[in-house]
Amino acid sequence: MEPITGKALVLAASAIGAGLAMIAGIGPGIGQGYAAGKGAEGVGRQPEAQGDIVRTMLLGAAVAETTGIYGLIIALILLFANPLIGLL
Amino acid sequence: MSVKETQVNILIGALLLNGFFGVVGFFVVEDYFPYLGGILFGVIIALLNFRLLFLTLDRAVKMPPAKAQAYATSRYFIRYVITGVVVYVSIRAQHINVLGTILGLISLKLVIFKTQLFNSKAYFKNIFKRKEEK
């Protein structure tokens, strides 16, 4: 059996790290869905406030979405442009 | 302020901020044109995603709450995949700088903070004001 090389270890750890980073993408999805559900309830209760509700939700959702993008970027960089391999 | 005005303000703000990033990059980044391409690519996708988000939410609020929840979540994952493809392409393509793309994608958040949250001068003045002062 071949011994584990440093490069293989870094690649394996990077793959695990990328998987963990992708968890960050789930949260905003759940949060946005929850907000949209509550927004729909609000519009049902007060239809004239639709513009305000959509506007507030739009800004909140756009900020939340960026948080998911951070995780995605980390995962993709670990997988396809890993800077750690160059350090070996 | 209406939803349309908000969107236009954010669009203008994003273009201005990324123009600023482009000018700063001219003095800081060695390989300038891939960086500029990255910023352009990133900001276009970020603005299109923002428009898609508006269309999703505008439709979701007219649905029953449970359906709206599932709809908004499923659409979020579609946008997430689009962003993933964009970042992957910018990593793979030699003529697009990935840091520029990331900057373009994230600049929307900075613009929203600037135009909607930190838009009052009184807020900044009050940070350094002691509560005991009258």
Query: Could you read off the pLDDT of A8-60 as tens digits, one per residue?
Result: 899 999 999 999 999 999 999 999 999 999 999 999 999 999 999 999 999 99
How many residue pairs bridge chain A and chain B with CB atoms within 8 Å of each other? Answer: 115
Does B86 touch chain A if contact means CB atoms closer than 8 Å? Answer: no
Closest-CA residue of chain B to A60: B112
Q: How far, CA to CA in Å, does B71 sit from each of A31, A36, A44, B74?
A: 13, 9, 17, 5
Name which of B2, B63, B102 is nearest A40 (Cβ-Cβ). Answer: B63
Q: Is residue A47 part of a domain?
A: yes
- Alpha carbons B57 and B120: distance in angstroms, whole number: 28
- Alpha carbons A49 and A39: distance in angstroms, whole number: 10
Q: Supply the pLDDT for residue B133.
A: 65
Query: Could you read off the pLDDT of B2-47 as tens digits, one per residue?
Result: 888 889 999 999 999 999 999 999 998 888 899 999 999 999 999 9
Radius of gyration, alpha carbons of chain B: 18
Q: Which domain holds residue A42?
A: 28-80
Name which of B2, B3, B108 is nearest A62 (Cβ-Cβ). Answer: B108
Residue B134 has pLDDT above 70, yes or no: no
Residue B4: both structure tokens together: 């349309």
Please report residues of A whose CB lies closer than 8 A to that of B68: 33, 36-37, 39-40
The Cα of A85 is separated from the nearest Cα of chain B by a number of Å equal to 16
Please report residues of A whose CB lies closer than 8 A to that of B109: 62-63, 66
Q: Supply the pLDDT for residue B40.
A: 94
Does A38 touch chain B if contact means CB atoms closer than 8 Å? Answer: yes
Mean pLDDT of chain B: 90
Write down the domain spans for chain B.
3-115
Residue A75: CATH number of its domain: 1.20.20.10
Residue B74 has pLDDT above 70, yes or no: yes
Q: Is residue A4 part of a domain?
A: no
Residue B79 has pLDDT above 70, yes or no: yes
Please report residues of B whose CB lies closer than 8 A to that of A43: 61-62
User: Is the reported ipTM for this assembly greater than 0.95?
Assistant: no
Strand intervals (E) in B1-134: none
**Among candidate residues A59, A68, A66, the one with its CA nearest the CA of residue A24:** A68
Residue A79: both structure tokens together: 């997988």
The Cα of A64 is separated from the nearest Cα of chain B by a number of Å equal to 9
Please report residues of A whose CB lies closer than 8 A to that of B6: 55, 58-59
Q: Is residue A19 part of a domain?
A: no
Total domains present in chain A = 1
Q: Supply the pLDDT for residue B30.
A: 87
Q: Is residue A12 part of a domain?
A: no
